[in-house]
Structure 1
Amino acid sequence: MYKCPLVFVLYEKSVKTEDLEIRQIPQAANISEGSSVTMTCSWNIRHSERVRVNWSKDKIMIFSEVGKGNYKPDGREYIIEENYSNLTIPNTVLNDSGLYHCEVFVEIPPPVRRASGEGTLINVIAFQKTNLIIWLLAAISPVMLIVIVALYCCYRNVKNRRQNASSVYENTSTIKKEALQQKIEKSSQFYVNCAELSLSQQKIHDKSANIYKLRTQQKKNQPMSKVIEERSSSEIYQNV
């Protein structure tokens, strides 16, 4: 996430020592914790054989070096060129707040000339977590919305598939149940028909047996009737 460290920038007035003129910018800067800030100190003398640059914070020396180069002795970055020097503080913390001064010594050619800038006041502001949350939400919200919509669509598709599968299963189960019920009913009807047929056969058999018994009884009773008739005739004859 990009942070703009400079809230306002004021250019420092030039300071002259004989023929050496120094300008230090910015005059002040308010920055958020975790961002970076760069201070520049420039001078008007060129082609010097030996130039020493000092940087101090709250009147305490933090850097001193001679000659061109890029230096990182304490986590800060110091750059010295022919007629300017930069001090860059990356990933600032609250302790980086303070008043920074640049001091230049032109040692060769003699005489030694010295000049310093009027300073840069750095104010590091504590980073607000609420701002981070707002930025994160602003960055994540569109992505989360897309993800939520995609998940919802997937959920609906899965749900519809399950419902269709359930409907097919229920229809298949209903058809199977109806077919099984029909088979059971047919089997029951078959058993009933068989039972009725068996009962009819039993009745026919019983009737046949009764008829046979009746005929047999009749046959047995016929001789007895003849004997009774003969006896009756003899008795009648005797009485006569």
Structure 2
Amino acid sequence: MKLLLSSLLLASLCALSSWSVSSGSFDVTQSHDVSVMEGDTVDISCCWMGTAEKIRVIWLKNPTEIKNETKSVKNETSICWNLTFSNIRPEDSGTYICKVTVEIPVYKSSNGSTVITVMTREEMKDKTEEGNYVHAGKTLLLVIAAVATVVPLLLITVCCYYILRRKQGMKKAVVVSTQRSLCNG
């Protein structure tokens, strides 16, 4: 019995020491932050890349666990999990963390996060009106810039036209005056 327990202890120590050897890279990527209007459907994803046999995925909203699942991924090098909200509400706003833990062969963990901001229809309307004011202000600024550019160019054109007409008038006057003096003289 003593020999059997010693062998089991030695075998478990060997197994534990083999777990400390890294089994390659381990990357978790998650959806970018999103802003949506209440009632929309939102889908955020958490993707894992690496090598493992067993993975646990825990979704947290702020610090509260909302979903927990374990999956065998023996031959997969990448996999994605989705968290879907249909008819999203303002209460669903928050930071969603996807914590991926490789349980076999090496225990390691990584996570990503996505911030979801849900706006009410009133907030969206206010933001749209604010955007319209900004858009109107930009449009007014463009009109002023165009007028400030066109008016001086128009004035220069009119002045040049007037000067040319005047020179042509002077040339005609010189020609007429020359012709009179030739005729009279």
TM-score, normalised to structure 1's length?
A: 0.38
Structure number with the bigger relative contact order (C-alpha 8 A, sep ≥ 6) is 2
TM-score, normalised to structure 2's length?
A: 0.48
Q: Comparing both structures, which one devotes a greater share of its residues to strand? A: 2
Bigger Rg, structure 1 or 2? 1
